[in-house]
Amino acid sequence: MYKDKIVNHVRSLRQKLSNKMGLPFQDILPAEQIAKAIKAEGIKYRDCLFTPWVTLWAFIAQVLDADRSCRKAVSRVVAYCIVVGLPRPSALTGGYCRARKRLSENLLHRLMGEVGLSVQQKATGGNLWCGRHVKIVDGSSVSMPDTPENQKEYPQHSNQAKGCGFPIARIVVLFGLATGAVMDLVFSSLHVGENVLFRQLWSQLNFADILLGDSGFFSYANIASLLAKGVDTVLRVAKSDKVKFEQVKQLGPNDCLIRWKRPSSRPKGMSKEEFKSLPEYLTLRQVHFRIDTPGFRSKEIFLATTLLDPAAYPLVKLAQLYRDRWECELNLRDLKTSMQMEILGGKTPQMVRKEVYAHILAYNLVRSLMWNTATSYKLPPLRLSLKGAVQHLSVFAPLISTASSPTAQELFLCLLRALADTLPNRPNRIEPRRKKRRPKSYGWLQQPRDELKDKLKKELAA
């Protein structure tokens, strides 16, 4: 009986620990939602310190921290245990690292998508473009440690010599324009094209959505397939002599209806049956406009869209919408640079994928907090700084997690006020792509490190 009381007390404290570690995101990702996701994934776990809840929040805190070491993540858990009254655990990292390995990829991916969707659903009315949700697609890449497992699944670029490069994964991300949240992400090796990966994201596009993208995603198959789902597209026309349109009707200056015949060649990753099921012709609207602002690389932009009504969707609005596509580039910069996702630390492909999903989940949680701040203070959500939000969180989150309820609430309100500091409005800002600080004058590694070590040993021996 006494033993059962002790066990129940420890379990209660452990639950309190996971709740405290989840602050200040408890309203965004409550324990009930995590429990539901764990049950849906059929995850079984032992009654130990690093339950899926504790491991998840420790992992999120780890990717949000400038120091992403497992040692600091465990140290943070040790400090929380002391605060909630649990016995002080070991500061060794083995238990936490094993718990991260047990943490399911699917669980992280599911929670990432749920939080991203909940943020996007908050955008209504004036936050939408012409009353409709716009989602932006773009591609990028991330690198990881040079281990045999990573090289096998995500081989380095073919131009790099063996032993001198790093494994690279191609990623394709779908962002919500209004909120900046990530709807979903897929990744694979560099041998898989962006459009093949993009088709795996079509399930995240809903009826009446608008897809915005650059010329890399401009294809007959993409436009026709999405149109069949009720999804409109605004894509930059690819510069290719093979793409030939027939003008049908002039709608106004630099604005016309065109007809596009289905090409003879089908894209990679699409079966013959799927390609033959596409309509033989597409009627699109083509608009073009000039950019004369110094510093912009493109001088003339051609867009093809399925939004055929010039009264509902004027050329000026379409031009501004395509300009807003730059938000996607800024979001990728926030993910890769501000949140340090560009160079991952996982030694295996499974750990790499978990690390990516944890980064996106943390990013969506921060975006949700920024959205709450913007709505509370009547501010444009995209004028808030994600880097600043992460910096403020690194200071406030540990204090909120260890404070009493009244103090924690006051600290949380102070955090929202700190996040409300908007970025200056600097349209058409021009910055040269140059570095002022000179790097060290070391040469590049152009041979495997082991071979160079052997050469140095021979030189020293001589």
Side-chain-side CA neighbours of 206 within 13 Å: the count stands at 8
- Do residues 269 and 199 touch, judged by C-beta distance below 8 A? yes
Chain mean position to CA 457? 45
The CA distance from 213 to 325, in Å, is 7
Give pTM, 2 decimals.
0.92
pLDDT in tens, the chain (462 residues): 444 444 454 566 566 667 667 777 888 898 889 989 999 998 887 778 888 888 999 999 999 998 999 999 999 999 888 888 888 888 999 999 999 999 999 999 999 999 999 999 999 988 999 999 999 999 999 999 999 999 999 999 988 888 889 999 999 999 999 999 999 999 999 999 999 999 999 999 999 999 999 999 999 999 999 999 999 999 999 876 667 889 999 999 999 999 999 998 888 888 899 999 999 999 999 999 988 776 666 678 999 999 999 999 999 999 999 999 999 999 999 999 999 999 999 999 999 999 999 999 999 999 999 999 999 999 998 899 999 999 999 999 888 888 888 898 899 999 999 999 888 887 777 777 788 888 888 888 888 888 888 888 988 887
The CA distance from 90 to 49, in Å, is 11
* DSSP of 232-283: EEEEEPP--TT---EEEEEEETTEEEEEEEPPSSPPTT--HHHHHTS-SEEE
**DSSP assigned state of 386:** H
